[in-house]
Structure 1
Amino acid sequence: MSAERPVLPPVRLNSEAELARDALAAPLFVRAVRLARWAGPETRVGAGGELVEAQLPAAAEHLGLPADDEGAAYASEAWRLAVDTGLLDVTDPEGEGEGEDDEAEGTVTAGENLALLTTGSPQEILAIWLDGLDAVHADATAPLLDDFADLVGEDGSIDFDALDWDPEEEAEFLDGVLGNLYLLTLADNGAGDAPVPLPALAASMIVPDDMGEPTDDILEQVSEAMMRLDDQFRLLEPIGIVEYQPVDEALMAEAGDPADTAAGADEEDVTRYGMVRLTPLGLYGIRARMLEAGAAAPAVGDLADKGADALLDGIAYYPEAAARAEIQLWLAGRGADGAVPAAAELLAAARGTDEGAPLRRLHCQQALALAGEEAEPAVRAVLDDPELGGLARVWLAEHGATDVPAPSETMVFWLAIDTIAAQLDADGELDELQGLVEGLSAQHTGFFDEVWRVDHPATAEVLEAMGRLHSDKKAAKDARKAAFKARSRAGG
């Protein structure tokens, strides 16, 4: 009805100091840093900045890895990350481009970012780590080359069309999966951080929402997506964004198609099909990618330094716990001596006759409850305000004030309409909303005979909702009649 509803719920992030520590502890990042500090004037790199093959065993040994193909692969991966994140600066081979000498070698020196890992701020460390996440994400969406030689033509060029690979489509699919994982992690106010079965995550991208029983073709697509995601999450886990339990390779021999039986497997079996959980660092990293792509991905604390108007509008559709946390941060930013000015600012921002005003007043009331007794002078100052007087009386009564002037009948009815309008806008639980409707109408004899006269923009809409929600048939009919009168009074 009022403020634009965010697609993504607000995320509660760990502090930047905690996230920076997590970034520095990510296994792949640790290996990249160790190689960056190991490299010296004698280190030999190829024309593409890669560590030459002859150096890989020594690099693997420095990392405590076996000097075999697997150790060399890990060392090569870590070296690429060190170059991609600016921990190392590579100088191209002399004379590059003047000949066709594939054996030409360049030199390497420590990059500026290497020193920042010990002297920089948490923000600077996280910026370096985000560059690493981008690099690993690109690796994860790169094509799988079973036989690279078949793609090279006689002239040495690579036939990319033969790959059947669309880089934008691959990146979009993986970002969609990570976005769904982000949403699942934030479900139920952040309580949904249990590991997610890989089949469910793959199906979330493949199976249409309105499809009942998936077809064989859809199941095959889910299976293919699972296997691709299994490879991708194996690559993403070392950079620290996920905790991943890979698909049990024994399933390939047992069933052939891991997606066929996952839906009917018991909980113990499902874990064999891959389980993934987004880490706190992963929440930070995926949100950063979303923001860079232009998505609205709010975080608790975003509004702490904004005005009261931005606060009340910003938390309009936040879950209760997130809204409470945001308000507490906002109040804390104003200090103990700023309680009265803060309360006055909140009350001023709550005024208005626009569609979002009732919900602003509801959140203003919640904010004032958290402000404590220090807000009383600001609250008493609006007792005669037609929009805020009822709210002020409720607050004073809840805080034990005994000298609160009785509200007029007009103010009582206005507050009832405003309260229900706010709850309708907030899409509260149906049972709670029904209880509110019935409770408010029962407090006053002849409620529907009088309430239609209330000069509130939402009067007719609220009365129509009361007619739908009230369990008593006579009261529901009276509410609908009152809604008709309210619309007639307002000129349609």
Structure 2
Amino acid sequence: MPPVRLRSEAELARDALAAPLLARAVRLARWAEPGKPVASGGVLSADDLREAVELLDLAADEDGPEHAAQAWQLAVDTGLVAIQESAADDSEADSAADDDTAADGEREPAATAISGEELQLITGGSPQDVLDIWLDGFETVLADAAAPDLGDLVDQISEGGEIDLDSIDWNPEEEAEFLDGILGNLYLLTAMDEEAAVGSVPLPALVASMVVPDDMDEPTDDILEEVSEAMVRLDDQFRLLAPTGLIDYQPVDEALIEEVDGEVRLHESEAAREQAVQDEEEDVSRYGMVRLTPLGVYAVRSRMLDAGVDAPVVGDLADKGADVLLDTLPGHPESAAHAEAELWLGRRTPEGAARELLAAARGDDEGAPLRRLTCQQTLSLVGGAAEPALREVLDDRHLGGLARVWLAEHGAKDIPEPSETMVFWLTVDTLAAQLATEDDSEELRDLVRGLVDQSGGFFESAWRVDHPATADVLEAMGRLHPDKKAAKEARKAAFKARSRA
């Protein structure tokens, strides 16, 4: 995975404590601290649930009882609340509780809820303690999000009183994998694009990234229907996850959802759904918008690390050698590479960093041109104090051209003119590095066109360059140059270079 920027543990812990679900769970844990009679397993009575709703200022919310129950369950699951079962036989207590529930919705107190050890860590522990508690709670909510709605089973109870699980169209492994994939895609978008880190992703586009095959130009009706069904399911899951602080979520407009033959789906036409999938709908926000929060980035990365995924963070390379830095930065997004390079340089003196980078940039291996280009980009962040290190390599075949460019950019005096051989060698080296990262991009085509147009007889001199990549570069120039005559000259020069080698 590409590296991500993480907030400090202290900042993340503050975010965790401010998340609605954990904040409510902490308030309820303190409410139960002196001891509160509850049913077996920690279930609140109807009266206590109403009191919890009032305590959490949720009385005006039609979903208040549900939010209060979820917060209480989180407090129990994370150890903010401890349940002390009574000495009575559990089976008898459960039976009595069932009878009471059937009679008046109340359950016979069979246990006592008190504050748990984790509640003390909320105020007296370290930021990591708080994050560990939050992560435990997030995992329980994530598991609930991937589970089916058991309320849908009420009408499916057979005459014998047993639930027909085969009638549920639900595969727990597939559902968990799909949700993990969605969160993984959000994580990847956040890492690759800084705008995605502060902006929201349309739900149709996010679902399409998981459902629509990469090689499909136009989604079929079946694929569109699959996207529609997945959006409705994911909307429910995101509504459940949002209070954890994992995501910022704007739900799907209720007016777009309908129930047909017992199935909930988007009622828009096929054309409208296709527009939503392709992110062309004018008001695409009606279909849901989601963003992974900084706390969410931390959580998804933690899950990836547990699964054995290499998920680096910006700053991991700060104490590594220059060879590791130059080999790794080309795979980073531009902003992350810039930040990583600055952190690496911050651990060293300008002159010392320059010497280390230049030493690592040498070589005639296949990856050397890209190392040198990365070295040049990194050195552009170093101040004039590095000048002595750059002057030391002016006569170096690999680094002399690079050093002259740096000195000129930093306004240095008395820079010796490069030989024609060095100029052409640097040109081939730079093109080889660009080819390693850009394939046949339009920018590379423009670069090739400019080089040939500005230098008469370019190919007559270029094929003689003593660089391991000369033939490959000339062959690529023949492929990229739009002028047929110039392209033919490039191919002929490539043949000469190979014959010479």
Q: TM-score when scaled to structure 2?
A: 0.85
The alignment status of 1:284 with 2:298, answered yes or no, reads yes
**Residue 232 of structure 1: aligned partner:** 237
CA–CA separation in structure 1 for the residues paired with 2:267 and 2:43 = 36
Q: Are the counterparts in 2 of residues 453 and 486 from structure 1 also a CA contact under 8 Å?
A: yes
Larger displacement relative to structure 2 (64-73 or 12-21): 64-73
Q: Are the counterparts in 2 of residues 47 and 92 from structure 1 also a CA contact under 8 Å?
A: yes
Q: Deviations over 1:19-75 (max 9, x none)?
A: 222221111111011112221243234443444555322222221223998433222
**Residue 257 of structure 1: aligned partner:** 266
The alignment status of 1:207 with 2:212, answered yes or no, reads yes
CA–CA separation in structure 2 for the residues paired with 1:215 and 1:407 = 59
CA–CA separation in structure 2 for the residues paired with 1:97 and 1:369 = 71
CA pair 328-138 structure 1, distance change in 2 beyond 3 A: same
Q: Are the counterparts in 1 of residues 196 and 291 from structure 2 also a CA contact under 8 Å?
A: no
Structure 2: runs of 5+ lacking an equivalent: 98-108
**Which amino acid is the alignment partner of residue 391 of structure 1?**
L
Question: Which residues of 2 match residues 277-316 of structure 1 at below 5 A?
Answer: 277-316=291-330
The alignment status of 1:407 with 2:418, answered yes or no, reads yes
**Which amino acid is the alignment partner of residue 360 of structure 2?**
A
Aligned equivalent of 1:331, options 345, 366, 376: 345
Q: Are the counterparts in 2 of residues 262 and 270 from structure 1 also a CA contact under 8 Å?
A: no
CA pair 442-122 structure 1, distance change in 2 beyond 3 A: farther
Secondary structure class of the residue paired with 1:44: strand
Secondary structure class of the residue paired with 1:386: coil
Structure 1: runs of 5+ lacking an equivalent: 1-7
Secondary structure class of the residue paired with 1:146: helix
**Residue 447 of structure 1: aligned partner:** 458
The alignment status of 1:221 with 2:226, answered yes or no, reads yes
Compute the displacement of 1:192 (Å): 7.0
**Which amino acid is the alignment partner of residue 402 of structure 2?**
L
The alignment status of 1:138 with 2:165, answered yes or no, reads no
Secondary structure class of the residue paired with 1:237: helix
Secondary structure class of the residue paired with 2:249: strand
Compute the displacement of 1:188 (Å): 4.3
Compute the displacement of 1:296 (Å): 3.5
Q: Are the counterparts in 2 of residues 244 and 275 from structure 1 also a CA contact under 8 Å?
A: yes
Q: How many pairs were matched up?
A: 480
CA pair 435-214 structure 1, distance change in 2 beyond 3 A: closer
**Which amino acid is the alignment partner of residue 178 of structure 2?**
F
Q: Identity of aligned pairs, percent?
A: 65
Aligned equivalent of 2:252, options 243, 247, 254: 247
Secondary structure class of the residue paired with 1:370: coil
Question: Which residues of 2 match residues 78-477 of structure 1 at below 5 A?
Answer: 78-94=71-87, 101-102=94-95, 103=97, 105-148=110-153, 160-186=165-191, 188-191=193-196, 193-252=198-257, 257-260=266-269, 261-264=272-275, 267=281, 269-334=283-348, 338-427=349-438, 430-441=441-452, 445-477=456-488
**Which amino acid is the alignment partner of residue 278 of structure 1?**
L
CA–CA separation in structure 2 for the residues paired with 1:465 and 1:106 = 76
Secondary structure class of the residue paired with 2:330: coil
Compute the displacement of 1:277 (Å): 2.6
CA–CA separation in structure 1 for the residues paired with 2:61 and 2:391 = 77
Aligned equivalent of 1:28, options 21, 30, 33: 21
Compute the displacement of 1:253 (Å): 5.8
Q: Are the counterparts in 1 of residues 189 and 196 from structure 2 also a CA contact under 8 Å?
A: no
Larger displacement relative to structure 2 (381-390 or 427-436): 427-436
CA–CA separation in structure 1 for the residues paired with 2:211 and 2:369 = 40
Compute the displacement of 1:443 (Å): 5.7
Larger displacement relative to structure 2 (409-418 or 357-366): 409-418
**Which amino acid is the alignment partner of residue 314 of structure 1?**
T
Compute the displacement of 1:309 (Å): 1.8
Q: TM-score when scaled to structure 1?
A: 0.87
CA–CA separation in structure 1 for the residues paired with 2:467 and 2:38 = 74
RMSD: 3.1
Larger displacement relative to structure 2 (209-218 or 235-244): 209-218
Q: Are the counterparts in 1 of residues 35 and 115 from structure 2 also a CA contact under 8 Å?
A: no
Secondary structure class of the residue paired with 2:434: helix
The alignment status of 1:64 with 2:62, answered yes or no, reads no
Q: Deviations over 1:267-314 (max 9, x none)?
A: 564333322233232233223323333333343223223222222222
CA–CA separation in structure 1 for the residues paired with 2:238 and 2:215 = 28
Q: Deviations over 1:60-97 (max 9, x none)?
A: 22212239984332222112212333323334554667
**Which amino acid is the alignment partner of residue 124 of structure 2?**
T
CA–CA separation in structure 1 for the residues paired with 2:449 and 2:80 = 65
Compute the displacement of 1:101 (Å): 4.0
Compute the displacement of 1:444 (Å): 5.0
Compute the displacement of 1:186 (Å): 4.6
Larger displacement relative to structure 2 (44-53 or 224-233): 44-53
Q: Deviations over 1:445-464 (max 9, x none)?
A: 53322322333222221111
CA–CA separation in structure 1 for the residues paired with 2:435 and 2:405 = 20
Q: Are the counterparts in 2 of residues 246 and 273 from structure 1 also a CA contact under 8 Å?
A: yes
CA pair 157-54 structure 1, distance change in 2 beyond 3 A: farther
CA–CA separation in structure 2 for the residues paired with 1:144 and 1:370 = 55
Q: Are the counterparts in 2 of residues 340 and 377 from structure 1 also a CA contact under 8 Å?
A: yes
**Which amino acid is the alignment partner of residue 434 of structure 2?**
Q
CA–CA separation in structure 1 for the residues paired with 2:351 and 2:283 = 58
**Which amino acid is the alignment partner of residue 245 of structure 1?**
Q
